[in-house]
Amino acid sequence: MMTVLQTIHVLAALVVLAEALNKLERTTPFAHGMTRHARLVDGLKAVAWALLALGSGCTVAAPLLLGNGMQTNYLPLFDGTPPLIDRTAVMLGFAVLIVRTRIKEG
């Protein structure tokens, strides 16, 4: 059974994962006609959103995989321990910033 902290962590990760995949789909660091500066900026944006997608995807997948009996020694991305307040606060902070931006955009 998941604790309240774990539930908040996973729900925040779902928000971050959805936004990261959405933003990652729209980055085009290899488009033709871009200046070197624009290509660097878009490439860094793509790397950042890819890392956020990886981290939040692992957060969403971990309880599902570990709850179904997967062995943690076969999954180097999952340590099998419940999230602490530090990881939850970071994930929730990203989720709040994403929701705030969406509300601001209307």
Residue type, 47: V
Task: Give the distance from CA 74 to its chain's centroid.
Answer: 22
pTM: 0.85
Query: What confidence tens digit (pLDDT) does each residue in 14-53 have?
Result: 999 999 999 999 999 999 999 999 999 999 999 999 999 9
Which residue is it, tokens 């729209």?
A: 26
